[in-house]
Amino acid sequence: MYLDYIDLGSMPYQEAWDFQQSKMDELLEMRNSDEYSKNSFAGWFFTVEHPHVYTLGKSGEEENLLLNHLQLQSADAEFIKTNRGGDITYHGPGQMVGYPVLDLEKSGLTVRTYIEKMEDAIIETLKEYGIVSGRLEGATGVWLDAKTKDKARKICAIGVRVSKFITMHGFAFNINTDLNYFNHINPCGFTDKGVTSLEKELGVKQDFQAVCKRIYENFKKVYGFTSVESRK
C-alpha cells in the first residue's frame, strides 16, 4: 500500500482546502473502477505552508479568536471557518501542515486508529530530535510535559474530516513557527496551555524540508505503507 507524497509549497488556506476537496472527490470516483480495488494506491499525502491564517473547526467557539476584523488585517492574517474537527488554531510560515487524503477503508484503518497513528508519527519524529512528547488526556495532538499542568505545551495540532471513509485536513506541526501569533487565540480552546515549536525547544532554527521528510518517513512507517511515490 502506498501514498503519493506531494509538497504543495506555500498556498493560501482556502485554495488548499478546495484542492483537498477535489482530490477527495477524485479518490471517491476511483473507487468505482476495478483497477483501483486491485492496485496498492491508498491516496495522497500533501504538505504545505500557509500564509498567516486562523481556522475554526466545527466544534469551536468564535470567541476563542481574540482579534477583531481590523486587528486581523493589521496582523496580515485571515480568519476562516472550516469543516474539520476541533477548535481554533493558527497556521503560518515555518509550520508544516500535513493533509493526507487517504482511503481508510482500503488501508484497514478506523478513524480513531488513523488519528492515533498520526500522533505516533509525530511522537516518533520528536524522539529522533531528543524530545520526549506524548498525548494530553481528553485532547488530540502532540504535547510536551503533558502531565505537568504549568508546563504542558502543544507542538502539533490535529483536526480531520472523514467522509465516506476518505480523510482530509490533518495536522499542523510547529517547526520554525512565529509563536507570537498564538497569543491572539485560545489555541484549540485552551486558556491554560501553551504552544511551542521545534526551533524553540532546540534553541536553533531547523532545516524545514529535512523535518518534513522525517515526519513523512515516520508517517509511512507507523501506518505500514511500504512503497512510496514522491515528487514536488
Please say if the pLDDT value at position 231 is more than 60: no
**Sorting pLDDT into bands at 50, 70 and 90, what band is 230?**
low
Cβ pair 89, 54 in contact under 8 A: yes
Q: Give the pLDDT of residue 189.
A: 65
User: Distance from first CA to last CA of the chain, Å, rounded?
Assistant: 20
* Total number of domains in the chain: 1
pLDDT at position 191: 59
What region does 57 belong to: left with phi over 0, alpha with psi -120 to 50, or beta? beta
Strand 166-174 relative to strand 229-231, pairing: unpaired
Model confidence at 159: pLDDT above 90: yes
pLDDT value at residue 166: 97
Is the model's pLDDT at 175 over the cut of 70? yes
Give counts: helices (H), strands (E), the chain. 7, 11
Q: What CATH number has the domain bearing residue 86?
A: 3.30.930.10
Catalytic residue among 188, 211, 212, 215: 188
Note whether 176 and 196 are within 8 A (CB).
Answer: no
Active site residue 188: yes
Instruction: Provide the whole-model pTM.
Output: 0.93
Q: What is the DSSP letter of 93?
A: T
For residue 99, give Cα distances in angstroms to 9, 32, 59.
13, 23, 20
Residue 56 has pLDDT above 80, yes or no: yes
> Is residue 37's pLDDT more than 90?
no
| Of 6-10, 33-37, 191-195, the least confident | 191-195
**CA distances for 75 relative to 69, 90, 180, 192, 211, angstroms:** 10, 12, 11, 23, 27
At 189-209, the pLDDT tens digits run 665 678 999 999 999 999 999
CA distances for 97 relative to 84, 106, 110, 137, 173, angstroms: 14, 24, 22, 23, 6
pLDDT over 70 at 30, yes or no: yes
Look at residue 21 in the predicted model and tell me its pLDDT: 97
What percent of the chain lies above the pLDDT cut of 70?
A: 94
Q: Which domain holds residue 146?
A: 2-231
Q: What is the pLDDT of residue 70?
A: 86
Summarize pLDDT for 215-229 with one digit per residue, the tens: 999 999 999 986 555
Spatial distance between the Cα atoms of 158 and 82, rounded to a whole number of angstroms: 13
Q: What pLDDT, on a 0 to 100 scale, did the predictor assign at position 227?
A: 53
Mean pLDDT of the chain: 92
Mean pLDDT value across residues 71-76: 88
